Structure 1
Amino acid sequence: MGMPSYHAIAAMAVTIAMFIAFARGRMSVEIISLMTIAVIAVGLYFFPLEGTAPTDGLSLAFSGFGHYALITICALMIMGRGLVVTGALEPAARLLERVFKINGQLGLLISLVVAMFLSMAVNDTPVLVLLLPIFVALAHRGGMPASKTLIPINAAVLIGGMATTIGTSTNILVVSIAVDLGMREMGVFDYTPIVLFAAVFALPYLWLVMPRLLGDNRVFDQHELRRFVTRLRVTEDSMLNGRELAEVVKRLPEGIEFEEVPPGLMRANQRLTMTGTHEVIEEAARVLRGDAAPSWVMERIRRSSQEKRIDIAVVEMTVTADSRLIGRTLPTSGIADLYGVAVIGLHRPKRLVGERNKFSVGGDMRIVEGDVLLVMGLPDDLQNFAQGDSLLKLEGMRELPRRSKATLAAAIMIGSVALASVGLPFFGSEGFFLLKVPIAISALAGAILMFVTGCVKFDRVGRALSGKVIVLVAASIAIGRIVLESGAADWLGLLISSGLQHLPPAGVLAAIMLFVTLLTNFASNATAATVGTPIAFSIAAQLGLPPEPLVLAVLFGCNLCYATPIAYQTNMLIMAEGSYEFGDYIRTGIPLVVIMVAALSVGLVLTYQL
């Protein structure tokens, strides 16, 4: 075997340098990714690959920005944003929240098992797309941090996708190449027992160890969360109407407190004073189906939002010394009539809390300088209120979920997943059949529908996309192409095969699996499958082994993409939501790769009696 070409050496050097830079973490992911693309572009321009022009190198380096994988990931992010802003996932998040409240460890274990078995029947990418926003919503509702759950859930999805020939497109590619080379066509569940055997060893690691290796990446506010006083109006259809408060208090979120609870049954139009943070008050009002401001004001805001197609927002404002509101109560302030906004809560600084009764009239607090109002309305109305009554905005506006479109957003997501996993029903000359649509097409169609139906506003699309993920995907695609087209992958394959003659069968299988794992974590699954499958056949012929277990070693290796975010699109999807760094994947992924390689190698040896 000769030395690799200069281009192959350079490709391997750039890949290793990128990996080291990511692992050290001294520069941002965006800078490293852009520098990698620049090095490939400049290098291939002045030293083009054999038989290519300098401009072909530029096309290769920047091809990732127009690649279908990047378009797919962006479309999936947009659909995920649609589920979040419409509140479509709140029921599922609340259900999971109850399970996690009973026992957090049990909730995580159930989630891991469900994710794994779902991805056996449905392509792994749609499965993660469905689960990702649910766990993000769960984290926002006080459950386990997303940074501690998303990598384990993603790994469970990838293990499940490995277990059947339909679990991932890479599995289909490996089996197809093997059939073309002369191997029998494998059934959907032919090797499922081997993967389930390995999963027995992997699941305890995912469940008990991996979350401990991941930090809590949530960004906490430096100041203590403000607690607001609000007077909840009991409406006709409220859960409280005709009941005592004690009957429903268990359904309310933690942190809500009530003052002067009236005895007996609650009736419509009664007011109930409660305190809590912004999110807690909003959740309590939703559960109790009551209004935190006069019903006519709330209804006018909702109607105006629908007519103008503008989202309702909530913002915190502090009362300055020049405000006309000082000395007034909320009912006598005329805020709703003048500005069309609703004050749904009032926070009083600690220095004045002890003097609350001194500043109250008939149960309503007089507004004093320094009070913080929690105000809901349309953005322009909120701005007019702040300017007109000399208020200072303390927090950026938070848009309320567009719950009227929650069902529509969920239907779009489910439809997109069904197109990619089940297929589109067709009646043709041969009868009824299902035509599977590539995930890139179904995700793009779903994202467009999110825009057209107003589930995601086009001018807010930037909030759904992560610049870090975009440039990382583009860089990983460029690295994958240069590794393949420079001949580096072929040379590495020959190097591996030349050193396997004296190893036992389990060692041969493990070496092939590790080689393909290396390719799939730094190039792509398709590259690993394309390069690894023919090499497996060649090694089988040289060593006198049956080709099937060696081909399965390639298939398994293609799915062991846990150690880097660039290895697979689902890894990149969770990167922004979990606030992960490159090192998080390395720290948690390498032990999992070792566990899976060892267990799968033993499973192959036992199954094929090597």
Structure 2
Amino acid sequence: MPGIPSPHALAAMIVTVAMFVAFARGRMPVEIVSLLTIAVIAVGLYFFPLPETGPTDGLALAFSGFGHYALITICALMIMGRGLVVTGALEPAARLLERVFKWNLQAGLLVSLLLAFTLSMGVNDTPVLVLLLPIFVALAHRGAMPASKTLIPLNAAVLIGGMATTIGTSTNILVVSIARDLGMRPIGVFDFTPIVLVAGLVALPYLWLVMPRLLGDNRVASDVVLRRFHTRLRIGDDSALVGRELAEVGPGLPDDIIFHDQNEGVFAPQQRPHISGTHEGLEEAMRTLRSDIAPSWVLDRIKRSSQTKAQDIVVVEMTVTPDSRLVGRTLPTSGIADLYGVAVLGIHRPARLVGGQEQHGESGDLRMVEGDVLLVMGLPDDLQQFARNDSLLTLDGARELPRRSKAVLAAAIMFGSVFTASIGLLPIAISALAGAILMFVTGCVKFDRVGRALSAKVIVLVAASIAIGRIVGDSGAADWLGSLMAVGLAYLSPAAVLAAIMLFVTLLTNFASNATAATVGTPIAFSIAAKLGLPPEPLVLAVLFGCNLCYATPIAYQTNMLIMAEGSYEFKDYIRTGVPLVILMVTTLSFLLVMTYGM
């Protein structure tokens, strides 16, 4: 029977439980709870140092998370994900999955879960999620399921798939290596894959049908109706409209796109049909139809200036004021493109103004009136000059266009980082950091945009979780808990022993770290097997599986933290969805281990 835990071990367990309760209650922001946890550990170890350490060693332990490779890795992965988004590198994949989601939301989610599960069997969990995360965020913006309903199920599918092979996660390799050093036979890459596949099939209905219902919708509800902009579609020689009727191409266009001209017969080059739609709808229509909604010469001029000045192209909305010289003019007679080098993509006329004045010039183009909203594209300086000189009021909501010229480069950098990490050529920390640096050097991500890629909440949460993991291990709390558990297992059935070991390791991995759970749990499982006369392999696999059941808290694994900001998740979201999944997986895996090994 283990003795009373040391004061440090007892304090470590109290701080861990207190942090968990504070996170679960949700009354204080995650950042505040994380910083308070770090502060308590720092102050406590300064005045009451661990044995054979000094006060400054305690400070180093408490703040070690801010310089830990795990935090650097997560930040680097966020930056690379940002590079994929701002270059539009993932748009083809997003559009492909979008078709599935448009056909059926549930079918789209099922395909996504199976894809995530399959990929993570052979590739490390973190790179798989990094590849999928921006795609599903983009899908949410394009009208598919909200990110808050897909990212936690997707992450769980990645984690389940990752425990199907010894190479699925670095933790699996660690457990297998420790067991081999203790004298157990080497475990093959696919030795336990059938067990995980069956467990995955049991868990899949929960991930697919139940888990999304337990999660809220993080989309911001708005009563604002999206503005509809009127413009002229410029049909070039290579346009998808040439030689085709509207009925042929209409089904492939966004729902909000309307053709106002009564076009008879097929479209011909140089036609300029009058269309209208939302900003996003017009962009999608241009890509689908391979046509422009502004003169090609000014668009080319803007792109050249963007490359020369190394500035991003921006699209903003501007309101025509009573003093503007544009009042009464049409776009062709305004000279905007010649004077300022910007392109007006469309004009929105508020409902209160429609029909109140003469709306069209001799060419049929809309005459601008006070209150019209222009959708304008250009470089920031040119847009400011246009607004200032022509008395326009710039509205909120400026949006940078994707730097598509860098899309292939960004995708290559991401693929290179993922590939080198997945084959074990480089650790994920090194490959991710190298990829982030390349994103900067090549201009895929601008230095002044880094803040948009990183989440302060995730950063301090990672730092606090690392500090908790270290104090739980260094104080002896983990060893004491393991010894206490070993005493009580002598009176349980083999199935209960497996479940208890798995739950114990799951507890450690959700509050300390996978490495701590592996290094503490594997020797304990080996020792228990010898004492109870059980085969060591199923007990070691119980440890391996338990290390991967990290669904119940965001601090359990770095992929949990990667999705936290994008999904706008709170600590309780992980508890509400993760705890039932942990129970389901522990029950299923314990039963399968008993059946497989004849226990």
Normalised to the residue count of structure 1, the TM-score between the two structures is: 0.96
Matched-pair contact (CA < 8 Å) for 1:64–1:475? yes
Gaps of 5+ in 2: none
Measured in 1, the distance between the counterparts of 2:215 and 2:364 equals 48
1:543 is aligned to 2:525? no
Measured in 1, the distance between the counterparts of 2:562 and 2:342 equals 38
Measured in 2, the distance between the counterparts of 1:285 and 1:364 equals 20
Measured in 2, the distance between the counterparts of 1:221 and 1:378 equals 29
1:110-509 mapped onto 2 (5 Å cutoff): 110-355=111-356, 358=359, 360-423=361-424, 436-509=425-498
Deviation at 1:396, TM superposition (A): 3.1
Deviation at 1:260, TM superposition (A): 1.3
Q: Secondary structure at the match of 2:270?
A: coil
Amino acid at match of 1:470: I
Deviation at 1:219, TM superposition (A): 2.4
Amino acid at match of 1:242: G
The equivalent of 2:590 in structure 1 is: 601
1:577 is aligned to 2:566? yes
Amino acid at match of 2:59: L
Gaps of 5+ in 1: 424-435
Deviation at 1:300, TM superposition (A): 0.9
The equivalent of 2:520 in structure 1 is: 531
The equivalent of 1:588 in structure 2 is: 577
Measured in 2, the distance between the counterparts of 1:207 and 1:271 equals 46
- What per-residue deviation string (whole Å, max 9, x for no partner) do you get for residues 532-580 of structure 1? 0111112112211111111111100000000001000111111111111
When structure 1 is superposed on structure 2, of 387-396 and 93-102 the one drifting more is 387-396
1:69-84 mapped onto 2 (5 Å cutoff): 69-84=70-85
Amino acid at match of 2:246: L
Matched-pair contact (CA < 8 Å) for 1:8–1:486? yes
Amino acid at match of 1:287: T
User: What percentage of residue pairs aligned between the two structures are identical?
Assistant: 79
Q: Secondary structure at the match of 1:218?
A: coil
Measured in 2, the distance between the counterparts of 1:78 and 1:564 equals 23
Amino acid at match of 1:400: L
Measured in 2, the distance between the counterparts of 1:320 and 1:412 equals 46
When structure 1 is superposed on structure 2, of 61-70 and 214-223 the one drifting more is 214-223
Measured in 2, the distance between the counterparts of 1:97 and 1:9 equals 51
Amino acid at match of 1:548: E
- What per-residue deviation string (whole Å, max 9, x for no partner) do you get for residues 67-99 of structure 1? 110111111111111110011101000100111
The equivalent of 2:11 in structure 1 is: 10
The equivalent of 1:431 in structure 2 is: none
Matched-pair contact (CA < 8 Å) for 1:501–1:543? yes
The equivalent of 1:429 in structure 2 is: none
The equivalent of 1:56 in structure 2 is: 57
Measured in 2, the distance between the counterparts of 1:71 and 1:206 equals 30
Q: Secondary structure at the match of 1:373?
A: strand
Deviation at 1:222, TM superposition (A): 4.4
- What per-residue deviation string (whole Å, max 9, x for no partner) do you get for residues 181-222 of structure 1? 111110001111111121121001001000111111122444
Deviation at 1:254, TM superposition (A): 2.0
Measured in 1, the distance between the counterparts of 2:373 and 2:384 equals 16
Measured in 2, the distance between the counterparts of 1:607 and 1:411 equals 43
Matched-pair contact (CA < 8 Å) for 1:356–1:365? no
- What per-residue deviation string (whole Å, max 9, x for no partner) do you get for residues 377-421 of structure 1? 001001111111111111232000111111111111111111011
Amino acid at match of 2:482: G
Measured in 1, the distance between the counterparts of 2:364 and 2:575 equals 58
Measured in 1, the distance between the counterparts of 2:90 and 2:335 equals 37
User: How many residues are paired up?
Assistant: 598
Q: Secondary structure at the match of 1:23?
A: helix
When structure 1 is superposed on structure 2, of 263-272 and 525-534 the one drifting more is 263-272
Matched-pair contact (CA < 8 Å) for 2:72–2:433? yes
Measured in 2, the distance between the counterparts of 1:261 and 1:378 equals 36
Amino acid at match of 2:530: A
Amino acid at match of 2:381: D
Measured in 2, the distance between the counterparts of 1:257 and 1:298 equals 23
Matched-pair contact (CA < 8 Å) for 2:359–2:368? no
Q: Secondary structure at the match of 2:584?
A: helix
- What per-residue deviation string (whole Å, max 9, x for no partner) do you get for residues 450-479 of structure 1? 111111111111111111111110000000
Measured in 2, the distance between the counterparts of 1:184 and 1:463 equals 48
Deviation at 1:422, TM superposition (A): 2.2
Measured in 1, the distance between the counterparts of 2:304 and 2:569 equals 41
Q: Secondary structure at the match of 1:177?
A: helix
The equivalent of 1:427 in structure 2 is: none
The equivalent of 1:430 in structure 2 is: none
Deviation at 1:361, TM superposition (A): 4.2
When structure 1 is superposed on structure 2, of 284-293 and 84-93 the one drifting more is 284-293
Measured in 1, the distance between the counterparts of 2:119 and 2:176 equals 21
Matched-pair contact (CA < 8 Å) for 1:120–1:161? yes
Q: Secondary structure at the match of 1:316?
A: strand
Matched-pair contact (CA < 8 Å) for 1:77–1:465? yes
Matched-pair contact (CA < 8 Å) for 1:261–1:272? no
Q: Secondary structure at the match of 1:185?
A: coil
Normalised to the residue count of structure 2, the TM-score between the two structures is: 0.98
- What per-residue deviation string (whole Å, max 9, x for no partner) do you get for residues 307-330 of structure 1? 112111000111112211111111
Deviation at 1:242, TM superposition (A): 2.5
Measured in 2, the distance between the counterparts of 1:445 and 1:603 equals 41
Amino acid at match of 1:113: L
